[in-house]
């Protein structure tokens, strides 16, 4: 990794951390998710970054990939648990970070399990570290506190304009022989649950990524595709689309989906409550956690 790329990763991380922590202060029972999401995205831009993906604000059994729709009236319930997942990029260099906010003692214990697992995992990060050792430590910390790690969600590498690159960093023990390499940017994100330890897709999808170009018949579909191209392969939200109605937006997205050029990110749902904490780390002999 050259010095310019490192500098941009670090700048993105500083912005993401500040926005994440300010959003966490807004998260209280009765607060609207839409207001928090709009703050995250606008503040990211004000501070000199761009959203690397729409603000994810996932409640209770939803582990990830919920972002509000236009005019969303959803509020944070009493006794709930909220995952605030923030992505920021500077010239395509991404910081990915998350924090869980708990609104009961029981949910606080669940939040602590994923937070403690993240802290312990980061201690193992260095050039040459075995990914299997990191995964084993994450699982051990979460299970020691009476919860299950979510087995089908993983940490991941980060590359320019590419959110989910190699290597994968599972939250459960694995026989993976891969090792971290100097210069990698990675996101470690333990998910802990009181449920089964596995998420499933739910509906509707509200976050999307454009996969490529194909001839499109509808004017609105062409408009949506042109808008999506500006994100250079990073995800966008339905509510970001430049239409005056949700109906028009969804018709345009349907044509893109039918043409095979749209990737959906459906909300990921568990049977129990879920917590998540996440940091981005630059792998070096002395690793840099960009999102502290």
The set of catalytic residues is: 85, 96, 156, 164, 189, 278
- Whether residue 125 contacts residue 283, with contact meaning beta carbons closer than 8 Å, is answered with yes
Q: Quote the CA–CA distance of 269 and 283 in Å, as a whole number.
A: 31
**Closest by Cα among 247, 248, 249 to 236:** 249
What helix, strand, coil percent values describe the chain, rounded to 5?
Answer: 35, 30, 40
CA neighbours within 13 Å on the CB side: how many for 189?
30
The structure tokens listed for 149 are 């790690």
Q: Quote the CA–CA distance of 92 and 69 in Å, as a whole number.
A: 25
**Closest by Cα among 182, 186, 23 to 95:** 186
Q: Quote the CA–CA distance of 155 and 131 in Å, as a whole number.
A: 10
158 Cα distance to chain centroid = 12
- Whether residue 46 contacts residue 259, with contact meaning beta carbons closer than 8 Å, is answered with no
The structure tokens listed for 130 are 């075995």
How big is the CA angle at 20 (ends 100 and 160), to the nearest 5 degrees? 110
The structure tokens listed for 27 are 């998260």
- Whether residue 134 contacts residue 121, with contact meaning beta carbons closer than 8 Å, is answered with yes
Bridge-partner residues for 281, per DSSP?
Answer: 186, 289
- Other beta carbons less than 10 A from residue 230's beta carbon: 9
């Amino acid at each position: 990794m050259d010095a310019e790329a490192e500098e941009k990763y670090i700048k993105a991380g500083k912005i993401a951390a500040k926005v994440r922590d300010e959003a966490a202060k807004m998260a209280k029972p009765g607060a609207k998710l839409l207001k928090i999401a709009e703050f995250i995205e606008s503040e990211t831009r004000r501070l000199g970054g761009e959203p690397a993906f729409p603000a994810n604000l996932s409640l209770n059994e939803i582990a990830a990939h919920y972002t509000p729709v236009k005019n969303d009236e959803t509020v944070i319930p009493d006794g709930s648990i909220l995952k605030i997942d923030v992505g920021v990029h500077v010239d395509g260099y991404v910081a990915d970070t998350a924090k869980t906010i708990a609104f009961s003692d029981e949910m606080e214990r669940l939040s602590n399990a994923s937070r403690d697992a993240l802290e312990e995992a980061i201690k193992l990060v260095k050039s040459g570290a075995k990914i299997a050792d990191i995964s084993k430590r994450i699982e051990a910390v979460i299970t020691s506190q009476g919860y299950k790690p979510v087995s089908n969600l993983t940490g991941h590498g980060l590359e320019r304009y590419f959110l989910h690159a190699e290597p994968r960093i599972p939250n459960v023990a694995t026989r993976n022989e891969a090792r971290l390499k100097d210069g990698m940017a990675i996101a470690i994100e333990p998910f802990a649950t009181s449920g089964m330890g596995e998420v499933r897709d739910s509906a509707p999808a509200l976050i999307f990524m454009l996969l490529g170009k194909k001839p499109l018949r509808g004017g609105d579909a062409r408009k949506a595709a042109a808008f999506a191209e500006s994100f250079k392969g990073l995800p966008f939200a339905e509510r970001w689309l430049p239409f005056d109605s949700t109906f028009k937006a969804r018709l345009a997205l349907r044509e893109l989906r039918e043409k095979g050029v749209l990737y959906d990110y459906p909300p990921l749902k568990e049977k129990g409550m879920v917590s998540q904490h996440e940091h981005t780390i630059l792998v070096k002999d002395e690793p840099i956690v960009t999102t502290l």
